Amino acid sequence: METLLPAIAISLDGKELDPATLFPPERRDIWLEIGFGGGEHLAAQAANHLEIGYIGCEIFLNGIASALAHIDQQKLANVRIYPEDVRDLLGVLKPQSFARIFLLFPDPWPKARHAARRFVNQANLDIVARLLKPGGEFRIGSDDPTYVSWVMMHMARRKDFVWLAECASDWLVRPADWPPTRYEQKAIRQGRTPHYFRFRRV
């Protein structure tokens, strides 16, 4: 951690950041994962798409250490980490920088008085819309019924996203190109039902 994290960590200088400058020119697209937890999904996606530049954001030390172990073990050269509050990074990123953005099993803040802390809100969705390229994809995973309803309510208000689900299985069955996370597996063991949302930027 002492050597790998400094080599791949993103630092901010107050100026607009073009994510493409963090990777060699041959990286075809850039993907962003907000709150990567233990890094299982991040590492799997990066390993499956070596042509993609992958930025992962996580503030908790244990999650960062876990992700770094995956990155080191698989010798992934296409990953960069932002180990601070993601809001600071989102505010300086160049518009239309990402082909995909992932928000997987975020803290649901289940109590009503904490609802304002949920990442999915109209202000943050404005940011996601600004950062995605036209045709880019926003993926959200959650096993919390309140958060699932919250996502559906907020995304239904958006005219700049289209929900890609065509039938119930499209959001109840994890897509083949969506690697599992430890949080998802824990939810299944405990009898909760994960939901998988895919939205396209229009």
Catalytic residues: 107
Residue whose tokens read 């993103």: 10
Residue whose tokens read 């790998």: 4
Give one word for 109, left, alpha or beta, with left for phi > 0 and alpha for psi -120 to 50: left
- Encoded tokens for 14: 């107050």
Within 8 A by CB and 6+ apart from 11, the residues are none
Distance CA 108, CA 145 (A): 9
Strands (E), 8-97: 29-34, 52-57, 79-82
Are 57 and 119 a contacting pair, CB within 8 Å? no
Q: Which helix (H) or strand (E) holds 155?
A: helix 145-156
Three-class DSSP category at 51: coil
> Residues, the chain, total?
202
